[in-house]
Homo-oligomer: A and B are copies of this chain.
Amino acid sequence: MWLQETIQLRPKGRGFHLITPEILQQLPGLSRVRRGLCHFFLQHTSASLAINENADPDVRSDLESFVNRLAPEDAPYFLHTTEGPDDMPAHIKAVLIGGELTLPVTDGRLNLGTWQGVYLCEHRDRGGSRRIIATIQGEGDA
């Protein structure tokens, strides 16, 4: 059983955003998978996907503070500067965090830990709507 869907995310400001509900809402077919995997692929080079804590929003705020210190804007050695000061740091963050996730599916649901959620990490000031290709495979009849 294979499903492949395009998920379109609403535009988000720069920062780390919990998107588990927004993703699941666009994947009704997931409920029919008894045992399998769901792969998410972000078709962009200046945003990331990650898994982390779904509870305290301060975790997401601290992550944003951290990556801004890790890859600051206007580093004097940057050559790729024509698309704005937030662009090259965004590419760096995207390479470090990564833009794809594979998650286990069990009995029609993402088999996440209690405190886990899916993050869109938006590294541009105005990244616009982001697109994810979701590919689900597994044994059916959940």
Contacts and interface: CB of A to CB of B under 8 A. Distances in A.
Given A36-B135, A95-B97, A96-B97, A62 B79 contact: yes
Which applies to chain A's interface (DSSP): helix, strand, loop or mixed? mixed
B104 A41 contact: yes
Interface residues of A, number: 58
A10 B37 CA distance: 26
A43 B61 CA distance: 22
Q: How many copies does the complex hold?
A: 3
Contact of A59 (B37, B88, B115): B88
A52 B95 contact: yes
A130 to B, nearest CB: 10
Contacts of A80: 56, 58-59, 61-62
B97 A45 contact: no
Contacts of A121: 95
B97 A41 contact: no
A50 B42 CA distance: 13
Contacts of A59: 80, 88, 91
A137 to B, nearest CB: 7
Between A71, A91, A94, the greatest number of chain B beta carbons within 10 A of the residue's beta carbon is seen for A91
A108 interface: no
A111 interface: yes
Ranked nearest first, the 4 interchain pairs of A and B with the lowest CB-CB distance are A43-B113, A58-B80, A58-B79, A104-B133
